[in-house]
Structure 1
Amino acid sequence: MDKLAQNFYKTLLVLACVSLVAALLSITLNIATRLVDGWTISGLDGYAGYSIAAALFLALPSAFKSGDHIRVTLALQDARPRLKAVLEYWSLGVGLLLSLYLAWFACRLVWLSFSFHDVAATGDATPLWIPQLSMALGCIGFVVAMAHALVARLRGVAFFAPVSPDAARAE
Structure 2
Amino acid sequence: MRPILDPLYRACGWLAGLFMIALLITILLSIFGRLAGFYLRGLDAYAGYCMGASSFLALGYAFGHGDHIRVTLVIQRLTGTTRRGFELFCLLLALAMSGAFAFYSCKMVWWSYKFHDISQSNDATPLWIPQLGMAIGTAVFALSILDELILVLRGKALEAQAAELARTE
**TM-score, normalisation: structure 2:** 0.93
The 5-angstrom pairing of residues 75-94 of structure 1 reads 75-94=74-93
- Long gaps (5+) in structure 1: none
**Which residue number corresponds to residue 101 of structure 2?**
102
- Tell me how far apart the structure 1 counterparts of residues 76 and 163 of structure 2 sit (CA, whole Å): 15
**Are 1:4 and 2:41 counterparts?**
no
Count residues with an aligned counterpart: 168
- Tell me how far apart the structure 2 counterparts of residues 95 and 25 of structure 1 sit (CA, whole Å): 34
Q: CA RMSD in A?
A: 1.8
C-alpha contact 1:93 1:150 (8 A) present in aligned 2: yes
- 1:169 CA displacement: 4.7
**TM-score, normalisation: structure 1:** 0.92
- 1:158 CA displacement: 5.2
Q: Quickly say closer, same or farther: Cα 1:29–1:163, change in 2 above 3 A.
A: farther
The 5-angstrom pairing of residues 1-150 of structure 1 reads 1-37=1-37, 39-150=38-149
Runs of 4+ deviating beyond 4 Å: 161-165
- Tell me how far apart the structure 1 counterparts of residues 3 and 156 of structure 2 sit (CA, whole Å): 14
- Tell me how far apart the structure 1 counterparts of residues 146 and 64 of structure 2 sit (CA, whole Å): 11
Q: Quickly say closer, same or farther: Cα 1:20–1:158, change in 2 above 3 A.
A: farther
- 1:131 CA displacement: 0.4
- Tell me how far apart the structure 2 counterparts of residues 115 and 147 of structure 1 sit (CA, whole Å): 30
- 1:107 CA displacement: 0.2
| Equivalent AA in structure 2 for residue 81 of structure 1 | G
